[in-house]
Amino acid sequence: MVSLPFSDHCEPLANNSGELDHLLLSMRHHVDIGRWKYIEIRPPSYQPGSLFGFGDSHTYWLHRLNLSGSTQQLFHNFHKSCVQRKIRRAERERLKYAEGTSEILFQQFYKLLVITRRRLFLPPQPQYWFRALIASFGKDLKIRVVSKDDMPVASIVTISHKRSMVYKYGCSDTRLNRLGGMALLLWNTIQEAKDKGLDELDMGRSDVSNPGLISFKEHWGAVGTQLNYWRYPRATVGIANTWQEKMLRRLIPATPTSVLRTMGRLWYRHIG
């Protein structure tokens, strides 16, 4: 039981900590009698008491950009060389920006996703997962793509939820990073969120072992807070996980794209 699977974080649906404590005790019973293997919760602020037996399974940084200032103020707060100059470069390069959920945009996004996942030594999530997201969120989900001479440079998927714009997936062709495509995508997203009167851009989680990604988000003025995942029983990192990671690092660079996509369908068969 995971709250919620495939989301970076999830606030508990409880009125107070006492109510949540009672809920965790009830759920823990299902593990103790062997009905469930484990429980994992992903609250941004709640910390279960030591008596519940939950252990800290993963630690991340969660970054959010406050959108309360004017558009000009937000731009002024961006890192001058890492963000502002890249936005200006993208504008000079006349990158083409497009958004929506059309099949053309979906295929452009997915092509870049496969490239990015390969770079990270991971198989891509299957296409049907993203199609399910599009069907579920409707107009609240957008695929955003920037291209140079009809060649996709970078793409992100965003979801509007209540008072937040959530940056969920991002991918790019690193050969074209110098054009500033990702910077232009996020800048357009921020301006749209401002126009809608939203309060924040949720830039998602970053692994503590990835200082480059953390710095990237901080260059936009996003503020990071520690995000802990809690698991019962306490999680342990086994030899199998290490062996699995080493195997992927050897196999994926030389794997044909068609085979890599098949690996993704098998790897993520639980999201079918």
pLDDT reported for residue 2 = 77
pLDDT reported for residue 231 = 92
Helix 103-119 with 127-137: angle, nearest 10 deg = 130
pLDDT reported for residue 254 = 84
The contacts of residue 260 (CB under 8 Å, 6+ apart) are 114, 117, 118, 123, 124, 252
pLDDT reported for residue 239 = 46
**Residue 98 located in a structural domain:** yes
State how many domains the chain has: 1
**Residue 228 located in a structural domain:** no
pLDDT reported for residue 268 = 80
Asked if residues 145 and 152 have their Cβ atoms less than 8 Å apart, the reply is yes
**Residue 103 located in a structural domain:** yes
Give the three-class secondary structure for 104: helix
pLDDT reported for residue 237 = 53
pLDDT reported for residue 244 = 75
**Residue 173 located in a structural domain:** yes
Q: Where are the beta strands (DSSP E) in the chain?
A: 2-3, 39-41, 55-66, 96-100, 141-148, 151-161, 164-172, 200-207, 223-232
C-alpha 116/C-alpha 120 separation (Å) is 6
**Residue 61 located in a structural domain:** no
**Residue 89 located in a structural domain:** yes
C-alpha 146/C-alpha 108 separation (Å) is 10
pLDDT reported for residue 198 = 97
**Residue 134 located in a structural domain:** yes
How many other C-beta atoms can be found within 10 angstroms of the C-beta atom of residue 110?
A: 19
- Classify residue 78 by its DSSP letter: S
pLDDT reported for residue 270 = 61
Give the three-class secondary structure for 251: helix
List the CATH number of the domain containing 101: 3.40.630.30
Domain that holds residue 160: 69-198
Q: Which two tokens stand for residue 267?
A: 């790897």
C-alpha 195/C-alpha 199 separation (Å) is 11
Which has the closest alpha carbon to 201: 240, 159, 242, 233?
159
**Residue 24 located in a structural domain:** no
pLDDT reported for residue 272 = 54
pLDDT reported for residue 226 = 95
For the chain, list residues with pLDDT below 70.
5, 236-241, 270-272
Asked if residues 97 and 184 have their Cβ atoms less than 8 Å apart, the reply is yes
pLDDT reported for residue 105 = 98
